[in-house]
Chains A and B, each alone.
Chain A
Amino acid sequence: MSVAPRLSDPSAAEPGTDEMWELRLYVAGQSAKSITAIANLKRICEEHLHGRYTIEVVDLMERPQLARGEQIVALPTLVRKLPVPIRHIVGDLSNTERALVGLQLRPRV
């Protein structure tokens, strides 16, 4: 079951509570912000998405070509693949509130 998306503004759709989240975190090797982002992301997911998320960490230092077509400029960047729409959150996710807002787990105030 899911909340029916608002047809007028798909980008503003609120995600439901049952769906599987697919998160992809683009990082730059083991840079300070990269490892911070990984840690923060895991924490946020455990707290707010327990049991219904997968995290994929993509190291662009190793395979920079994976950034193609992804509109990635700065690292680390978190991309929510699922649920749609795709959301980008740039930065190390230290500001939890902003990260949650970016992930649409909190309403924007």
Chain B
Amino acid sequence: MKRRATQPSQEPEQDLLRRLELAEHTIEAIRAGAVDAFIMHQGEDERVFQLETAWQPYRALIESMGQGALMVSCDGTVLFANRFFLRLVGGTRDTVPGTTLAAWAAAEDAILVDQALAAGRDREADIEVDLKGADGRRVPVRITVCPIGGGENQPLCLTIADLTERKEYEALQRAQLALRKSEARLLEADRRKDEFLATLAHELRNPLVPLRNGLKIVEMAADAETTRRAREMMRRQLQHIVRLVDDLVDVSRITLGKVELQLKPVQLDELLGGALEAVQPLIDEAHHQVRLKSERPLYVEGDAVRLTQVFTNILNNAARYTPPGGRIDVVLEQSGDDAVVRVTDTGRGIAADALPRVFDLFTRMSPDGPETPGLGVGLSIARQLAGMHGGSIEAQSDGPGQGAEFIVRLPLAEPARERQGGAPRATARSGPPMAASGGRHRVLIAEDNEDASRSMALMLRMAGHDVREAHDGATAFDLAEWFRPHLVFLDIRMPAVDGLEVARRIRGKPWGRQMRLVGVTGWGPQSAEAVTRAGLDEILFKPVEPDALLALVKATPIDAYPREDAR
């Protein structure tokens, strides 16, 4: 069909009718609310004007969406903020529009907001900042600025995404990672502990061999010389086991933080001399040459026993890991506020990759020659003790075969307090003077381990003393009351009533005030305070050196307590 022109038809009436019809139809449509925009002439141009209702669905969308939406004027004033944003910052339609956006950002982020608004005129800009709500809470958000064109004075559209969940997720991830690292470390520590236990078993069993054999030899031997040699060997092995156990206990206690230092001014060069003496047997055996050099006396505030242990351990190491005929140099000097001791050896040296692990617990060098005895704890103990004194130990080596140097730094004691150093560990209480008084003593042994008790008692009886045994605390107290011993050996760790409790009870009685009470423990020194509070005169460590035991009894005054009122 031919296309008709869109001109009004030739019949003006028809045309008029049509136009009227259209006009009526248009008015009807307007009244019916079926339109939401008008097009009008503005001078030469046509322009479209929309009714407010035109944007209702979009407004609803903007108000209900799960992101913040803002309209911001070119000077940063908020013109419109949707419900999400208002909720985010704890604001209302009255408190947010009209303010600047930067005012809702955390103080340090305000400048970033302004920068983003400036950049957002030309291209989309994205920043992550913290908003600061009306109640002061901080919300991490991402602000996206969208230019809508139209020139300098057009407002900007912003969307605000709440990053709280994402940040929480990231924090969780980090926590998980930390946990995994922690787990790895724990597994590694566990593995090292297992290795250590295997080493320990091995190390403890070795001296047991000659001990067991030695006993047999003594049983079988006919002549005194063989017996004597066997006894010597067993004594040595016993010493060795005692040392191993000491090391083990030390490591445990230091790690658990149960070691207390008795700090006094200590003269380092004297102390070093003492440490060298302790290691002398090892040095002589290996025919090492040792030189001790110190320019002058230097004092540090320290625990003499523990500091000696530090240097003994280092020197032991030097002696053991240097082939026979080597050299060990010990140099003491001052460096700034520290005393510095350098122990240099011409020994096996330490490989670069092993250097950082040299102070680790249970690490030992792989054996070259015969396996070096020990648990691999000496250097670790030394470092921890040095640290407890406010100092440090460093190991240096040029590599395998190039020897090694251990550098100990300790803060110098204030010169005004320089005095004679190296005081021995104080005893808890001064009792009656220990005059040598030979003769038959009454001794009470309180020890729950029957073999330990029996062997101690037998030894003391063989030395001529009157000995009674108690295997628990309550019995010990009763025995002390009627037996009235001159000396009581109290095992500290007994079930129910322990050694300290027995001591307290005894001291609470008039007959017990002057009784000599000696605590015996396998764990470690109780604090001086605990010892004093319980009323013990002294503490000894198991296994007590038998000669020391006998000497102690011998030296206890007999007439301090006559037994007239007892059975």
Nearest-neighbour CB distance to chain A for B546, whole angstroms, equals 104
B296 at the interface (CB under 8 A from A): no
**Interface positions of B from 226 to 285, Cβ below 8 Å from A:** none
Q: Is the CB of B36 within 8 A of A28?
A: yes
Known: A28-B50, A32-B57, A73-B26. A64 touches B39 (CB 8 A): yes
Is B46 interfacial (CB 8 A cutoff)?
Answer: yes
The answer to the question of B18 belonging to the interface, with a C-beta cut-off of 8 Å to chain A, is: yes
Q: Chain B residues near A74: list those with CB within 8 A.
A: 26, 29-30, 35, 37-39
Which of chain B's residues has its CB closest to A93's CB? B34
Given A84-B4, A91-B29, A91-B32, A65:B39 Cβ within 8 A: no
Tell yes or no: B153 within 8 A of A by CB: no
Interface size on A, residues (CB 8 A): 39
Contacting residues, chain B, for A77 (C-beta < 8 A): 35
Which residues between 54 and 105 of chain A lie within 8 Å of chain B, taking CB atoms? Answer: 60-61, 64-65, 67-68, 71-77, 82-86, 88-95, 102
Q: Are B46 and A65 in contact (CB under 8 A)?
A: yes
Residue numbers in B under 8 Å from A29 (CB-CB): 37, 48, 50, 54
Given A32-B53, A64-B48, A90-B26, A19 and B36 contact (CB-CB distance below 8 Å)? no
Within 8 Å by CB of B39, from A19, A60, A84, lies A60
Q: Which residue of A lies closest to B45 (CB)?
A: A64
Residues of B within 8 A of A85 (CB): 4, 9
In the complex, how many residues of chain B place their beta carbon closer than 8 angstroms to a beta carbon of chain A? Answer: 33
Check if B14 is an interface residue, CB within 8 A of chain A. yes
Q: Which residues of B contact A9 (CB under 8 A)?
A: 14
- Chief secondary structure at chain A's binding surface: loop
Cβ contact within 8 Å between A75 and B39: yes
- Chain B residues with CB under 8 Å of A64's CB are 39, 45-48
Assess whether B1 is interfacial by the CB under 8 Å rule. yes
Q: Say if the beta carbon of A107 comes within 8 Å of chain B.
A: no
- B482 at the binding interface (Cβ < 8 Å): no
Interface status of B25 (Cβ within 8 A of chain A): yes
Please tell me if the beta carbons of A11 and B14 are within 8 angstroms of each other in the complex. Answer: yes
List the B side residues contacting A71 at CB < 8 Å: 19, 22
Instruction: Give the CA-CA distance A74 to B29 in the complex, in Å.
Output: 9
- A2, A34, A72, A83: which contacts B36 (Cβ < 8 A)? A34
Q: Residues of B at under 8 Å CB distance from A? A: 1, 3-4, 6, 9, 14, 17-19, 22, 25-26, 29-30, 32, 34-39, 45-48, 50-51, 53-58
Beyond A29-B48, A31-B37, A75-B37, 13 additional contacts (C-beta under 8 Å) are A11-B9, A28-B36, A28-B54, A31-B36, A34-B37, A61-B48, A74-B26, A74-B30, A75-B35, A76-B35, A85-B4, A90-B29, A95-B32
* Nearest 6 CB-CB pairings of A with B: A91-B34, A28-B37, A31-B54, A64-B46, A90-B29, A91-B29
Q: Contact residues of A with B, CB < 8 Å?
A: 2, 9-11, 19, 28-34, 60-61, 64-65, 67-68, 71-77, 82-86, 88-95, 102
